């Protein structure tokens, strides 16, 4: 039986990194946006949809991305799915932000 | 949906493959356990994950498993509990 | 910007100064940093939320602290009827005692650790955690390593946290696979028997309420 990328109970893994750090602003903002978008009454989709979107990441992304980066990828997929923004909007915005950075 | 199981019932997790969102972990599929709690009914996460309403609500149980049953090797005094939806459980005689 | 938070002490030594200034985006890939900004700006432009909404949500999330869980534990230790209620029907018991509304939060279950049985909580599939009363889960709880290993080698995982249980103690790994969120009611150390509830709150650590630690037999 094949496993989905997130279904990892019992798989071999290394030592646990116990040291903690304060969440960065980047992490705090992603978490906040996620809670707003998946709010039980004012939201646009469920936490279940967020999980499903994360579970659909390719294995190298699931393993290679940080926890909040995975949520960010899920958010990108779901805001397009729900018609809140289009993929063209996102690509256009990424291009203009990259150009802005290039001009600095 | 009325709960099919009660605390103390022996159950087996269905050994089904899934390609879609599912909250029954791979490591418990096909394993036998005992119902320890009945939590009431909840919207089906397999539906919620795809923007569907998730009705009818499904009964949810806490099921207790022996370590040896789950992993096929002994570890004394170790058990695992997980919360499993009714449609993933069958009676184990 | 730096913020004050009641830093509830954990159990294990860590060499990071948790009062150092918060970093903007340490550890994130540059394309993630760009994507976060792109999505946030687009969603604000489209009127999905405002910058104030985001800030308010950050503050709300940061305000939830393991001290809430510790207060519940301390009260349960000192009031047998409350403890029975908590173990039977955690959410109403917690709402009533703390005076908070948990209506829109997941269901809660409190499990009691004893000389005979030691529970340790996990979520192998993602990161389900009783955030309403314990705040944000530590990164290790959400790590692939903890999620993979705790269900198959719990004693080895506990040993990494410096926790060793006698062989005759049953370890019960609780995998939060569905709607319920779990918190441990840790065993009360004997030396605390004359402490007030307020003093007890200071003894109870977040890690003991997850179950990777037991509370020390002696004052720390």
Across the interface, whether the CB atoms of A82 and B51 are under 8 A apart is answered: yes
Does residue B34 form part of some domain? yes
pLDDT grade, residue C185 (50/70/90)? very high
Predicted confidence (pLDDT) per residue in C16-58, tens digit: 444 444 688 888 999 999 999 999 999 999 999 999 999 999 9
Same domain, C187 and C110: yes
pLDDT in tens, A19-44: 998 999 999 999 999 999 999 999 99
Q: What CA–CA distance (Å, rounded) separates B84 from C179?
A: 10
A60 in C contact zone (CB under 8 Å): no
- ipTM, two decimals, is 0.97
Contact state of A1 with B25 under an 8 Å Cβ cutoff: no
Residue partners of A24: CB distance under 8 A and separation at least 6: C22, C23, C24, C25, C26, C27, C28
| Structural domain harbouring B33 | 10-91
Closest approach of C31 to chain A, Cα-based (Å): 9
Q: Provide the number of structural domains found in chain B.
A: 1
- Among all residues of chain B, which has the CA nearest to that of A4? B19
The residue among C91, C147, C97, C144 whose CA lies nearest residue C122 is C147
Residue A8 lies in a domain: no
CATH number at residue B17: 2.30.30.50
Structural domain tally of chain C?
Answer: 2
User: Neighbouring chains of C at 3+ CB pairs within 8 Å?
Assistant: A, B
Window B:6-65, CB contacts with A under 8 Å? 15, 17-18, 20-22, 25-29, 45, 48-51
| Cα of A54 to nearest chain C Cα, Å | 9
The per-residue pLDDT for A1 is 62
What would the pLDDT profile of B2-18 be if each residue is shown by its tens digit?
Answer: 899 999 999 999 999 99
Instruction: Answer whether residue B86 shows pLDDT above 50.
Output: yes
Set of chain A residues whose Cβ sits within 8 Å of the Cβ of C152: 9-10
Instruction: Give the three-class secondary structure for B38.
Output: strand
Chain B residue nearest residue C153, CA to CA: B75
Average pLDDT over residues C163-192: 97
Point out the domain boundary residue: C15, C41, C63: C63
Contact C177 B84 (CB under 8 A): yes
Tell me the C-alpha distance between C31 and C169, whole Å.
48
pTM of the model: 0.93
pLDDT digits (tens, 9 = 90+) for C122-176: 999 999 999 999 999 999 999 999 999 999 999 999 999 999 999 999 999 999 9
A8–C contact, CB cutoff 8 A: yes
- B27-43 pLDDT, tens digit each: 999 999 999 999 999 99
Q: What is the pLDDT of residue A104?
A: 59
- What mean pLDDT is predicted for residues B58-85? 97
Tell me which residue in C151, C172, C178 faces B83 most closely, judged by beta carbons: C178
- C108 and C49 fall within a common domain: no
Summary mean pLDDT of chain C: 91
Residue C37 and residue C93 in one domain? no
For residues C139 and C155, state if they share a domain. Answer: yes
Q: What is the CATH number of the domain that holds A94?
A: 1.10.472.20
In a domain, B59, yes or no: yes
Tell me the catalytic residues of C.
Answer: 123, 126-128
Q: Residue A97 sits in which domain range? A: 26-103
C134 and C206 in a single domain? The answer is yes
Residues C120/C211, Cβ–Cβ less than 8 Å: yes
* For chain C, percent of residues with pLDDT exceeding 70: 90
Confidence at residue C3, expressed as pLDDT on a 0 to 100 scale: 33
Range of the domain at C134: 66-210
Token readout for B27 is: 């490591």
Q: C59 and C127 in one domain? A: no
Closest residue to A11, CB basis, from C26, C43, C148: C148
- pLDDT of C15 higher than 60: no
Question: Are C92 and C193 found together in one domain?
Answer: yes
pLDDT at position A2 is 78
Q: Domain of C174: which CATH number?
A: 3.90.330.10
- The answer to whether residue A7 is domain-embedded is no
3-class DSSP string for chain C: CCCCCCCCCCCCCCCCCCCCCCCCCCCCCHHHHHHHHHHHHHHHHCCCCCHHHHHHHHHHHHHCCHHHHHHHHHHHHHCHHHHHHHHHCHHHHHHHHHCCCCCCCCEEEEEECCCCEEEEEECCCCCCCCHHHHCCCCCCCCCHHHHHHCCCCHHHHHHHCCCCCCCCCEEEEEECCCCEEEEEECCCCHHHCCCCHHHHHCCCCHHHHHCCCCCCCCCC
pLDDT (tens place) for every residue of chain A, 104 residues total: 679 999 999 999 999 999 998 999 999 999 999 999 999 999 999 999 999 999 999 999 999 999 999 999 999 999 999 999 999 999 999 999 999 877 75
């Amino acid at each position: 039986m094949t496993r989905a990328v997130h279904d990892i109970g019992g798989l071999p893994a290394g030592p646990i990194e116990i040291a903690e750090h304060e969440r960065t602003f980047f992490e705090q903002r992603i978490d906040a946006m996620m809670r707003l978008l998946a709010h039980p009454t004012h939201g646009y989709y469920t936490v279940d949809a967020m999980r499903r979107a994360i579970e659909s990441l390719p294995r190298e992304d699931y393993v290679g991305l940080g926890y909040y980066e995975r949520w960010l990828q899920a958010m990108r997929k779901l805001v397009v799915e729900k018609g809140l923004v289009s993929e063209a909007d996102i690509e256009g915005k990424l291009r203009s932000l990259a150009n802005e950075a290039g001009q600095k | 949906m009325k709960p099919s199981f009660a605390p103390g019932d022996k159950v087996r997790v269905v050994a089904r493959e899934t390609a879609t969102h599912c909250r029954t972990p791979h490591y418990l599929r096909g394993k036998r356990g005992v119902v320890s709690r009945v939590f009431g009914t909840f919207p089906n996460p397999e539906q919620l994950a795809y923007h569907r309403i998730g009705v009818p609500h499904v009964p949810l149980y806490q099921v207790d498993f022996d370590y040896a049953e789950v992993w096929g090797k002994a570890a004394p005094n170790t058990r695992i509990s997980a919360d499993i939806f009714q449609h993933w459980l069958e009676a184990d005689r | 910007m730096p913020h004050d938070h009641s830093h509830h002490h954990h159990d294990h030594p860590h060499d990071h100064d948790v009062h150092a200034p918060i970093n903007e985006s340490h550890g994130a890939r540059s394309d993630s940093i760009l994507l976060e900004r792109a999505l946030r700006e687009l969603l604000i432009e489209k009127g999905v939320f405002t910058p104030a909404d985001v800030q308010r949500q950050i503050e709300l999330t940061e305000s939830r602290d393991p001290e809430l869980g510790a207060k519940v534990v301390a009260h349960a230790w000192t009031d047998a009827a409350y403890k029975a209620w908590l173990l039977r029907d955690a959410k109403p018991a917690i709402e009533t005692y703390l005076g908070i509304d948990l209506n829109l939060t997941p269901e809660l279950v409190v499990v009691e650790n004893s000389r005979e049985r030691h529970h340790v909580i996990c979520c192998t599939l993602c990161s389900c955690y009783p955030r309403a009363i314990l705040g944000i889960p530590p990164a290790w709880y959400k790590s692939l390593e903890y999620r993979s290993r705790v269900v198959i080698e719990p004693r080895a995982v506990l040993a990494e946290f410096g926790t060793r249980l006698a062989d005759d103690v049953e370890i019960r790994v609780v995998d939060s696979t569905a709607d319920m969120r779990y918190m441990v009611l840790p065993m009360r150390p004997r030396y605390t028997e004359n402490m007030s509830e307020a003093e007890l709150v200071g003894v109870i650590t977040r890690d003991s309420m997850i179950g990777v630690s037991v509370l020390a037999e002696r004052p720390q």
